[in-house]
Each structure stands twice: as C-alpha cells, then as structure tokens.
C-alpha cells in the first residue's frame, strides 16, 4: 500500500498526465499481473498503452514517500542555511566551494574537468531544485544565473536521470545529498542564453573557464531578469 492517509493536494491547476491500468489472469497454476501506462494527450484521449517500467513506478512511489515524510534535524542546523521551512519542506543554502568537477555529455564538445565556481545559492522546495549565483553572500546580494547547463531560465534545475533520492530526511543529509546529486549529474544542454555575460559561445566560455587558474570571474555572471536578491528569495519560503 503506497499511502495510508490522504495527501493534501491543490487540484485547481492540476491536469491528468497519465493513467495506470492493472490486468490479471487467473489459471489453475498461477496468477499473472501486468501494469500498463498510458499518457493523457492534449485532446484528452489516452496514448497507446505501454508496459509500466520499474523506473517509472519507482518515481511514483518515491513521490508519495517524499510527500508523507517529515524533515528532521539531528541537532545543530548547518551554518550555511539561509532560510528554512520544515513544514513546507523548503530550504535555501549557500555553497562556497572554490572548484568542483563538472561532467559534460560527449556531444556537447565541452570537456569534463575541474572548474572554478562562483558563489552559489541552492533552493530545494518540495523536491524541486533551483540554483543561483551571487558575487557575495550578504542578504541584499543580487542573484545571477548560475552558469550551468541543465538549468532553465527560471533557475530551476532539470535533473534528467539524476533523481534526488534521500536515505535520510535529516536536513543536513538532504543538503549533502542534493549537492552530490547535482554535481555528479551529466550536463547535457543549455536551456537559455544567459549563462555568461558576454558574446562568446558556450563552448568557448567553458574552454576558457576550464583552463583558467584564477577564481571565477564574477563579471561573467548574467543578472536575473527578476532582479531578485538573497533576501527576497528567502522570503519565498
């Protein structure tokens, strides 16, 4: 049984996305079961039925597990937490590692390697991850686009196949697991054109970035269109 109690869901802006149908066949020897997955098309009809794969079922089960779990703390909260709402499962924190290894898909023609990083701000809210860059960590610091592939213009992260799977719902473990998952994910494509504040191509910018022995050049950061600050972001949770 996936869930023993109803989950509070706001259905106002929700639309059906898929259906799962279960089949069974009884015989004198055994009982067989089959699960079929169908997407809901734009016209409201169902797509052709396909077998429900383990990965899809795992994601569905994980959703209900995350919705019903309560975040906890083993004691002292991490010092880099900027804002925290345990009830809403939302946290914003700073990340100040000078360099990290970034993995790029081969067809991007961008070399994987150790890259110097700008100062970063992560936001995790109900299993949705966002990332921003800043030039300093003051509360009025302006937010910039983090110069990473797989990040939308909204600053939300497209995790692809790198699912956030938490073995513990302690807030320290959640932050650590999220960081590890993000930086071990494969960067595959750019989702907007505001990665760098210059006219060079992404490939040329990454080449210069990788080969630089200097800290990340903050002049390359592109400001958010929304003109947000760390303070306004922290107030969003």
Residue 11 belongs to a domain: no
With bands split at pLDDT 50, 70 and 90, how would you rate the model's confidence at 75?
confident
Please indicate, yes or no, whether the overall pTM of this predicted structure exceeds 0.75: no
The verdict on residue 5 lying in a domain is no
Out of 66-70, 74-78, 115-119, give the one with best mean pLDDT: 115-119
pLDDT for 8 = 46
Same domain, 115 and 170: yes
Residue 188 is assigned to a structural domain of this protein: yes
Q: Specify the higher pLDDT residue, 55 or 211.
A: 211
Q: Which pLDDT tens digit goes with each residue over 82-105?
A: 999 988 899 999 999 989 999 999
Residue-wise pLDDT for 105-144, tens only, equals 999 999 999 999 999 999 999 889 999 999 999 999 999 9
- Is 188 found in the same domain as 216? yes
Within a domain: 215: yes
Residues 217 and 158 in one domain: yes
C-alpha angle 149-152-155 in degrees, rounded to nearest 5: 100
Within this chain, do residues 198 and 126 fall inside the same structural domain, yes or no?
yes
Asked whether residue 43 falls in the same domain as residue 133, the answer is no
Listed residues 47, 68, 89: the one ending a domain? 68
The Cα–Cα gap between 207 and 110 comes to 7
3 part of a folded domain: no
Specify the range with the lowest mean pLDDT, choosing from 30-39, 57-66, 138-147, 182-191.
Answer: 57-66
The answer as to whether 87 is a domain residue is yes
Note whether residue 6 is domain-resident: no
Domain that holds residue 201: 81-234
Whether residue 212 sits in one domain with residue 133: yes
Sign of CA dihedral 90, 139, 157, 186: negative
Pair (36, 152) in one structural domain? no
Taking alpha carbons only, the member of 81, 60, 59 closest to residue 170 is 81
> Mean pLDDT over all residues of the chain?
85
Q: Determine the average pLDDT of the residues in 57-78.
A: 71
| Residue-level pLDDT at 215 | 92
Average pLDDT over residues 44-56: 79
Same domain, 63 and 134: no
């Amino acid at each position: 049984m996936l869930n023993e109690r109803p989950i509070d869901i706001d259905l106002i802006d929700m639309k059906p996305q898929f259906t799962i149908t279960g089949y069974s066949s009884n015989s004198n020897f055994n009982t067989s079961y089959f699960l079929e997955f169908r997407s809901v098309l734009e016209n409201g009809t169902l797509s052709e039925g396909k077998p429900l794969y383990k990965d899809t079922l795992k994601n569905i089960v994980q959703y209900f597990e995350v919705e019903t779990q309560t975040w906890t703390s083993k004691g002292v909260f991490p010092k880099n937490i900027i804002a925290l709402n345990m009830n809403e499962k939302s946290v914003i924190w700073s990340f100040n590692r000078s360099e990290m290894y970034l993995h790029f898909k081969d067809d991007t023609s961008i070399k994987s390697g150790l890259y110097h990083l700008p100062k970063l701000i992560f936001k995790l809210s109900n299993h949705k991850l966002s990332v921003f860059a800043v030039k300093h960590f003051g509360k009025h610091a302006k937010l910039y686009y983090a110069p990473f592939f797989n990040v939308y213009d909204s600053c939300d992260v497209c995790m692809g196949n790198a699912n956030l799977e938490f073995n513990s719902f302690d807030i320290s473990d959640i932050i650590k697991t999220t960081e590890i998952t993000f930086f071990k994910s494969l960067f595959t494509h750019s989702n907007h054109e505001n990665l760098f504040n210059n006219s060079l191509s992404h490939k040329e910018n990454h080449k210069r970035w990788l080969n630089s022995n200097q800290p990340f050049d903050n002049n390359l950061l592109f400001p958010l269109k929304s003109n947000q600050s760390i303070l306004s972001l922290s107030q969003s949770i």
